[in-house]
Structure 1
Amino acid sequence: MEINLLLDKASFAKKIILLITFFAITPLTLIVCLISLVAISSTESVTTITQAEILEYPKPGVQIFASLPSDLPSISAEVIAADARPEIIYNYLAANNSPLAQYSELIVSIADNYELDYRLITAIAQKESGLCRVIPEESYNCWGWGIHSQGTLKFSSFEEGIETVSQGLRKYYIDEGYETVEQIMKKYAHPSSTTWAEGVLNYMNQMQ
């Protein structure tokens, strides 16, 4: 009898524990579920607002479609390599602190106009005046052009000097058969100069 009584008490205690556990866990479970639902709802709301803002304020140059149009425009482009020669001349002149640096595009343009190597007058200026660092005062003559015992030819600007020297190289040298730097040296440089052509060619090779 005592054993049965003890078993009944133990069974009753288990039931009490189960009931207490049930009533304790169930509210917690419901609270967790409610919090999860609220969090999911908030996330969807934020996403909707963000997309609406993007559609309302598109970035400049961007076209936004609610759905893809039936015929999207085709885009074709021809890639044209930029002329790097003015930059080559500019970098060379700037590295040598030459006042001609700002005229790099003009130098190349005029060289093309007279069908000259775009590096030629820059190399001559390096040989004759250290790229205009040592020239007669207010002469703008970086090329030793027209400088002789009777006087010095002066230009009104570097632009005029670039134009005049380029035109002269074409008219009085190349068109008369002085087509290489070595041949130009025979007429351009002092008769005693034997390294003029070598120096000019060396400077030209530095502009690659």
Structure 2
Amino acid sequence: MKGLVLAGIFFLLAPITLATSLFSLELLGKFDARLPKSTLVSASSFIDSPKSGVRVYASLPGNLPGISGEAIASDARPYILEAYMQRYNSPLAPYAERIVKTADTYALDYKLITAIAQQESNLCKKIPPSTFNCWGWGIHSEGTLGFDSFDQGIEIVSKGLREEYLDKGYATPDEIMAKYTPLSPGSWADGVNKFLSDMEQQ
């Protein structure tokens, strides 16, 4: 039914529109024929000094208005990392940008410190109260090292990974595990590698 109504409207309006257009062109032609020759403008003078009036066809101006701008590259890593941590409801999620910047400062892969936090504390959800230690950093028989804030923890752990591990040849999770948690039978490195792989696919 709707199709019939639309078809009816089309066949009603199309002839009216066509007739109106033809009538307008005919009227315009008669109007031009009645003008005295002195008022007609030659093509050359029209180009030199355009006059206002009816112009059915006109060329486009040489300079078209437009919007110019500059694309500014943005580092997507903090947003990707934040989205990853939000997926796990991590209290570290608001610190994604800090993690990336600190990792850059110490020439680390920002995903490494995150993967270690995920292996050690389920991304900071299981840590000793008020320690802000998501990385199991400095845990020993006498207790756990605590930080004043997540910011401080990110800084100290990133610097420590660079100076005490990477700079000393412990580059892969398996190599880091030998010093970081020497009693692990391999599950620590397996977990860190899995989380690194998960973040790569993010």
Q: Which residue is equivalent to 2:83? A: 91
Structure 2: gaps of 5 or more residues: 1-59
Deviation at 1:70, TM superposition (A): 7.7
- Select which of 95, 103, 107 maps to 1:115: 107
Deviation at 1:107, TM superposition (A): 0.5
Deviation at 1:75, TM superposition (A): 6.6
**In 1, Cα distance between equivalents of 2:163 and 2:81:** 23
Structure 1: gaps of 5 or more residues: 1-67
Deviation at 1:81, TM superposition (A): 3.8
1:119 alignment partner, SS class:
helix
**In 2, Cα distance between equivalents of 1:199 and 1:119:** 13
Q: Which residue is equivalent to 1:181? A: 173
**In 2, Cα distance between equivalents of 1:89 and 1:126:** 12
Deviation at 1:186, TM superposition (A): 0.5
Stretches of 4+ moved more than 4 A in 1?
68-78
Question: With structure 2 as the length reference, what TM-score do the two structures score?
Answer: 0.64
Deviation at 1:109, TM superposition (A): 0.5
1:164 aligns with 2:164: no
Q: Which amino acid counterpart does residue 137 of structure 2 have in structure 1?
A: W
The structure number with the bigger radius of gyration is 1
Taking every aligned residue pair, what percent have the same amino acid on both sides?
57
Question: With structure 1 as the length reference, what TM-score do the two structures score?
Answer: 0.63
Q: Which residue is equivalent to 1:133? A: 125
**In 2, Cα distance between equivalents of 1:115 and 1:76:** 36
Deviation at 1:80, TM superposition (A): 4.1
- Select which of 183, 200, 205 maps to 2:197: 205
Q: Which amino acid counterpart does residue 130 of structure 1 have in structure 2?
A: N
Maintained 8 Å contact 2:174/2:186 = no
The alignment covers a number of residue pairs equal to 143
**In 1, Cα distance between equivalents of 2:185 and 2:135:** 15
CA shift digits 1:148-196 (9 cap, x unpaired): 1022100000000000000000000001111111111100114233111
1:124 aligns with 2:122: no
Aligned alpha-carbon RMSD (Å): 2.4
**In 2, Cα distance between equivalents of 1:192 and 1:174:** 19
